[in-house]
Structure 1
């Protein structure tokens, strides 16, 4: 991962991409850096992800509410001011939002536990 020089982001100026879910739509505004992705994401009312995700994320709920369902059947409600954190390949999950939600989502190489384990065990290879 390369250093990121100090900078600000005017999220209103970042282009929107739309991603259809099983139900509803997710609107992403994405900043991509080397090994790091930061997204401002809005799920429409009734949004349900169309896949089980195994990627790691740090998710901060800005406004609204959503439910994260894990593959083992557990569910967790995330509402305004809350976060969840998960590493890559640890807990398959998918999201649902009845009334819509606005999230800040951060993910990247630092959440890949396999890479971190390799770095610790074999620092001369990285």
Structure 2
């Protein structure tokens, strides 16, 4: 991973992209660097991801709450101020949000 110069990210100037879930919608604001992706992600109410994810993430809940379902049936509830971390290929997980949530998600080569 290449070094990243000091910089501030003004999320108000990062456009949102829409991503449909199995139900509901997510909106991503994404900043990418070599080997690193940082996103502010908002899930609508009644959101269910449309896939099981194997990718590693650091996920910090900024507002609201959500459930990270694991394919083995386990459910991890997270609310404002909580974080989870997982490396690539160590779990099969997907997000569920009943009332909507806002997350900071960081992923990249360092989670392989």
Task: Give the number of the structure whose residues are more often helix, by fraction.
Answer: 1
Task: Give the number of the structure whose residues are more often strand, by fraction.
Answer: 2
SS in 2 for 1:12: helix
SS in 2 for 1:45: strand
Asked if 1:21 is matched to 2:54, the reply is no
5+ residue gaps, structure 2: none
1:33-91 CA distance string (max 9 Å, x none): 00000000000001100000000000000000000000110000010000000000000
SS in 2 for 1:44: strand
1:1-126 matches, within 5 Å, as 1-112=1-112
RCO (CA 8 Å, sep 6+): is it higher in 1 or 2?
2
Q: Distance in 2 between matches of 1:16 and 1:70?
A: 27
User: Which of the pair has more CA radius of gyration?
Assistant: 1
Name the Cα RMSD after superposition: 0.4
Misfit runs of 4+, over 2 Å: none
Q: Distance in 1 between matches of 2:26 and 2:33?
A: 21
Q: Distance in 1 between matches of 2:38 and 2:61?
A: 14
5+ residue gaps, structure 1: 113-126
Q: Which residue of 2 aligns with 1:123?
A: none
Provide the TM-score with structure 1 as the length reference.
Answer: 0.88
> What is the Cα deviation at residue 104 of structure 1?
0.1
